[in-house]
Amino acid sequence: MTLVTLEQVLQPAMKDNYAVAGLVTLGWEDMRAFVTAADAEGCPVILQAGPSCRAHTPLPVLGKMFQYLANSVSVPVVAHLDHGYTLDECREAIDNGFTSVMFDGSRNSLAKNIDETAMIAEMAHIAGVSCEGEIGFVGYSQGEKSAGTDPQEAAKFACETGVDAMAISVGNVHLQQDKEGGLDTGRIKEIETLTNVPLVIHGGSGVPVTQRTQLATQSNVCKFNIGTELRMAFGEAMRNAVNCDSSRFDRVTILKETHEPMVMATRRVLSAFGHKKRG
């Protein structure tokens, strides 16, 4: 299929009670494994270019890569800018074929976050592109601390920005390597009663798999961002490929051996989000 917008995959997910994975990409090898896994599972997938990915590969190149991969499979694929921090960055993504942008104004005051997110959402919608915003601040493992989402502020943010998806801070943390945490389901339910927009969990790698499934099928959480978990799987596959023969030096040969392990790891992630394979 060709690329689709975030709205086009999240609205059916909210209606039919499942979630879509936003998979954090770093290079060709993981991107290719992600769409291969999604095709095998028969589910949509969101390819995400975050700050570290963009520092390694320019947005115009990433846009072409995402487009090529979307055309190679039979499931919907979203090309998503993750954690865009400026209007110019979001505009560049839109100009280069991205079908969704996430503007992160979560470190700003509520008023500034609303104003800037609304402006970027309007720009995106004029271009036929979706927009995700963040209210509350999702912190980092061993780094900045989170500031939980206030449900009343979330309602105001959703209403005044017009975003297609809203990232919330409810106990989730970026870069968490274990799954020993858990999300504040009470706060999620309170946010749900005041809003009607698909909710997004950043730092999904740290959420226990059973809770991912429960929220995907029983709440308005329609998107889980998964990065660390799959980066760890890639690192393990790479180490195994390198260590099995210390005389090898051809990176194409080595990287080729990461593909199947990454596909299997990704399929395990995707299968937990409640999507029923059609046909």
Supply the CATH number for residue 161's domain: 3.20.20.70
Question: Coil, strand or helix: which one is 33?
Answer: helix
Burial call 17-40: b when 16+ CB within 10 Å, e when fewer:
ebbbbbbbbbeebbbbbbbbbbbb
Mean pLDDT of the chain: 92
- Give the amino acid at 206: G
Q: What is the DSSP letter of 145?
A: P
| Beta pairing, strands 130-135 & 77-84 | unpaired
Tell me, what's the pLDDT at 278?
56
Strand partners, 103: 84, 133
| Region 77-95 average pLDDT | 97
Neighbours of 109 (CB within 10 A): 9
pLDDT in tens, 148-183: 789 999 999 999 999 999 999 887 765 555 556 678
Nearest to 29 by CA among 222, 241, 277: 241
The answer to the question of residue 112 being in a domain is yes
Q: Give catalytic residues, as residue numbers.
A: 82
| Region 12-34 average pLDDT | 97
Strand partners, 221: 199
The answer to the question of residue 194 being in a domain is yes
CA atoms of 266 and 20, how far apart (whole Å):
12
Q: What is the DSSP letter of 246?
A: T
Tell me, what's the pLDDT at 279?
44
pLDDT in tens, 40-67: 999 999 999 999 999 999 999 999 999 9
The answer to the question of residue 278 being in a domain is no
What angle in degrees, to the nearest 10, is found between the helix axes of 87-95 and 59-71?
40
Tell me, what's the pLDDT at 196?
95
Tell me, what's the pLDDT at 102?
97
Domain interval for residue 25: 3-273
CA atoms of 3 and 164, how far apart (whole Å):
17
- Tally of structural domains, the chain: 1
Nearest to 136 by CA among 189, 197, 180, 202: 202
| Region 73-94 average pLDDT | 97
CA atoms of 199 and 215, how far apart (whole Å):
10
Neighbours of 189 (CB within 10 A): 13
- Give the amino acid at 2: T
Question: What contacts 40, CB < 8 A, 6 or more positions away?
Answer: 263, 267
- Give the amino acid at 88: D
Question: What number of helices (H) and strands (E) belong to the chain?
Answer: 12, 9
Phi then psi for residue 168, to 5 deg, are -125, 160
Tell me, what's the pLDDT at 116?
98
The answer to the question of residue 69 being in a domain is yes
Tell me, what's the pLDDT at 220?
97
CA atoms of 152 and 230, how far apart (whole Å):
34
Query: Residue 206: pLDDT band by 50, 70, 90 thresholds?
Result: confident
The answer to the question of residue 131 being in a domain is yes
The answer to the question of residue 279 being in a domain is no
Tell me, what's the pLDDT at 203?
85
The answer to the question of residue 104 being in a domain is yes
Question: What contacts 256, CB < 8 A, 6 or more positions away?
Answer: none
Res. 124: pLDDT tops 90: yes
The answer to the question of residue 54 being in a domain is yes
